């Protein structure tokens, strides 16, 4: 029990953010029309590319060659996720604008 309260109190801000973000995520997209499912999935896909921040931090403190290589790889993959995700979403959505 003590371990649990220590954990909870130490991380309560993060836990708050997690819980509120869950509700936010549900609320934000619950009324999306079916035609936007694919672009929305793709857009959300790009947003979780935020993992690149972690990759940059890891790479920024890498000291051995091995961690340097892995860090480099992580940044490249994270960037692929971000850039590819946003560009592909934009390409899909570009087609919707030509409505008559």
**Stretch 39-58 residues interacting with other proteins (CB under 8 A):** 39-58
Closest CA to 36 of 100, 95, 93: 93
Nearer to other proteins among residue 1 and residue 14 (C-beta):
14
Please report how the helices 51-60 and 65-79 are oriented relative to each other, as an axis angle in degrees rounded to 10: 160
Does position 11 interact with other proteins (CB under 8 A)? The reply is yes
List the interface residues with other proteins, window 69-88 (CB under 8 A). Answer: 70-88
State the minimum distance, in angstroms, from the CB of residue 29 to other proteins.
5
Q: Which residues contact 46 (CB under 8 A, 6 or more apart)?
A: 81, 82, 84, 85, 86, 88, 89
**Counting beta carbons within 10 angstroms of the beta carbon of residue 79, is it exposed (0 to 12), middle (13 to 18) or buried (19 or more)?**
middle
Of 1, 12, 22, 65, the one binding other proteins (CB under 8 A) is: 22
Q: Kindly determine how many residues on this chain lie close enough to bind other proteins according to the rule CB under 8 A.
A: 82
State the minimum distance, in angstroms, from the CB of residue 69 to other proteins.
10
State the minimum distance, in angstroms, from the CB of residue 64 to other proteins.
10
């Amino acid at each position: 029990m003590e371990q649990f309260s220590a954990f909870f109190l130490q991380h309560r801000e993060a836990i708050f953010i997690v819980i509120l973000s869950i509700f936010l995520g549900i609320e934000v997209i619950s009324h999306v029309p079916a035609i936007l499912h694919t672009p929305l999935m793709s857009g959300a896909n790009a947003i979780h590319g935020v993992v690149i921040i972690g990759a940059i931090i890891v790479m920024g403190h890498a000291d051995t060659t091995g961690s340097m290589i892995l860090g480099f790889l992580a940044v490249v993959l994270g960037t692929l996720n971000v850039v590819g995700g946003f560009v592909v979403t934009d390409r899909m959505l570009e087609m919707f604008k030509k409505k008559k």
